A and B are shown apart, each in its own frame.
Chain A
Amino acid sequence: MGTMRERALAWLYTRPEARAWALLAPGGFWLIAFFLVPLLVMFAYSLMPRGIYGGVEPGFTLEHYTRFFDPLYLQVLKRTFAWSIACTVICLLLGYPVAYVIARSTRWRTLLLFLVVLPFWTSFLVRTFAMIFLMRDTGLFNSWMMKVGLIQEPLTILYTPFAVMAGLVYGFLPFMILPIYASLEKLDQSLLEAAEVLGARPAARFRQVTLPLSMPGVVAGSLLVFIPALGSFLTSDLLGGAKQVMIGNLVQNQFSSARNWPFGSAASFIVMALVLAAVTWYLRVRDAGVRIVPPK
């Protein structure tokens, strides 16, 4: 055995590339076999005719993609897009001030940060259930509102677009706060002092110094909210019911009750393409970083 080991080591020594590949092989194999290949299989499925009993039949067709021009599916796409953007904007409006307060605070900073990170790691399923517990007809919100006398009948909140939006914002808000905080925290205080000395009022200082310099965080946060919102499935499934379908639910449906695998694959591939487009856009903006600051 000893000689085997030595020989193997000697061989690795003479060939640095071989050593790299030995380290890469197991994990690389896994990622290629169980991440990349499945995506390719999915793409192939999306181009094949639908089988009678689920599955696909050999052949080539683009019908699963053209089907998205059907008003019914176009509406699902539009809704998914609109909600993801709305969710991103709401998260930005809610999250920026929070990130600002955390970055400016001194004594409470660790605690405030911890309170943002905590829901980040809390089971998404549990958090979604928590929203149901609050919003359902017999839930806490309705019960309190009735007790206070603001309403006589329970309001239907669950299974409305409002419930889905609340759930999405609740779910993804921490993703917005953390990157904005990170960029605000790095902000050079002397720039603000300079602006003050030069006579800029607080509002102007914010608009012309703080905001432009925190743009990398805003862009990163927006992407981190937009992407999972686009692919979200659990939130609309549990809080939206049958009517508030997003593309994630459409995909899931093709694999459960509808049994139209190629159409589901096409829908899934569209989600993936949108996500990759968003990431590419982000990388462009990030690498152009400096130019985000408006020229004088």
Chain B
Amino acid sequence: MSMPIPRWLIGFAGVVYFFLHLPVLVLVVFSFNDSKFSVDWRGFTLQWYQRLLERPDILRGLKASLIVGGAATLISAVFGTLLALALARQRFRGRRMFEGFIYVPIVTPEIVTGISLLLLFALLKIPLGLTTITIAHVAFCISFVVIVVLARLEGMDENLEEAAMILGADEVTTFWKVTVPQLWPGILSGALLAFTMSFDDFVITSFVSGPGSSTLPIVVYGMVRKNVEPSINAISTIILLATAILIYLADRLARAK
């Protein structure tokens, strides 16, 4: 059936796409504008990018984000993969309930997660810093890893593992030589998603970060609140580019055979 899509509908969709992409496009374009205050185009410049390098707070924020992101990704990738294996391959009491529980952190508003963790850390008198940020990030990243890895496990052939066992490999060998290699793209893709979530997170981080442990989004938020110099456009463009690359890689891996 090849009924053409009505013209007005295409036009309408075009307007929506315009609305969806114009703001970020404008933001990126004006990160190269040679004017501090004007929104007129005054020529191409890279000075706002150079300015970023002169700001120690941004570099510190980037470093903090990379440390937290790296640690949170590693922990949530390992723990998340184990959880996915348990949910997909093992039978135990309360499995259904636990499976549902995995989705709760995803639907919980970030502000609720942030507040509740802040209260816990305050109660236990744990000082806020990179450690508490990492703990919080793992808590919301694990679920995403579990979901991605579970999807991969569902498409996997269990016969290969059985074959390995029949051929005399013990369970550990089978796990490392058969299960992990097959699962690898799923794990990596889950890890990249986790890193992206961690790298992007502002709301939860803002509650569990202490003085001197500001991640990049916290620094950028401070810049946005204070003034509106084009350096924000530049750092935003860099964040956009980094996220786009990570998501592209995650997507490629998730589709890998």
Contacts and interface: CB of A to CB of B under 8 A. Distances in A.
B83 A170 contact: no
B177 to A, nearest CB: 16
Given A27-B82, A268-B116, A97 B202 contact: no
Interface residues of A, number: 88
Interface stretch (A33-41, A58-66, A67-75): A33-41
B13 A98 contact: yes
Nearest to B3: A202
B109 A228 contact: yes
Contacts of B228: 132-133, 136
A30 B138 contact: yes
A127 interface: yes
A98 B98 contact: no
B3 to A, nearest CB: 8
B226 to A, nearest CB: 12
A9 B171 contact: yes
B24 A234 contact: no
Contacts of B143: 31
B109 A248 contact: yes
Q: Chain A interface mostly helix, strand, loop or mixed?
A: helix
B41 to A, nearest CB: 11
B5 A104 contact: yes
A265 B118 CA distance: 11
Q: Chain B interface mostly helix, strand, loop or mixed?
A: helix
A140 B39 contact: yes
A53 interface: no
B239 A126 contact: yes
Nearest to A102: B13
A125 B135 CA distance: 22
Interface string B77-96: 01110110110001111000
A129 interface: yes
Given A140-B39, A271-B111, A34 B117 contact: yes
Interface in A168-220: 170, 173-174, 189, 192-193, 196, 202
Contact of A101 (B5, B20, B24, B109): B5
Interface in A231-288: 231-234, 238, 248, 251-252, 255, 261, 264-265, 268-269, 271-272, 275, 279
A105 B5 CA distance: 8
B163 interface: no
Given A31-B139, A126-B27, A264-B115, A133 B233 contact: yes
A100 interface: yes
A28 B87 CA distance: 11
A133 B27 contact: yes
Given A143-B40, A251-B111, A97 B12 contact: yes
Contact of B79 (A30, A193, A227, A251): A30
Interface in B13-39: 13, 16-17, 19-24, 26-27, 30, 37, 39
A174 B109 contact: no
A148 interface: no
A160 interface: no
Given A42-B119, A125-B202, A132-B228, A28 B98 contact: yes
Interface string A158-174: 00000000000010011
Contacts of A100: 5, 9
Given A98-B17, A231-B110, A255-B118, A130 B26 contact: yes
Interface stretch (B43-51, B55-63, B154-162, B217-225): B217-225
A233 B203 contact: yes
A41 B91 contact: no
A191 to B, nearest CB: 10
B13 A130 contact: no
Contacts of B244: 118, 121
B14 to A, nearest CB: 9
A230 B20 contact: no
Contact of A35 (B40, B110, B139, B221): B139
Contacts of A118: 21, 244
A291 B166 CA distance: 48
Contact of A97 (B16, B109, B203, B217): B16
Contacts of B23: 127, 130-131, 133-134, 170
B224 A238 contact: yes
A38 B92 contact: no
Contact of B9 (A97, A122, A193, A233): A97
B109 A34 contact: no
Contacts of B20: 115-116, 119, 170, 173-174
Contacts of A95: 16
29 contacts: A20-B90, A23-B83, A24-B83, A26-B78, A28-B98, A31-B139, A36-B101, A38-B113, A38-B119, A39-B116, A42-B116, A95-B16, A100-B9, A121-B243, A124-B200, A126-B24, A126-B239, A127-B23, A129-B236, A130-B26, A134-B23, A196-B1, A230-B109, A231-B108, A231-B111, A248-B111, A251-B115, A269-B112, A275-B108
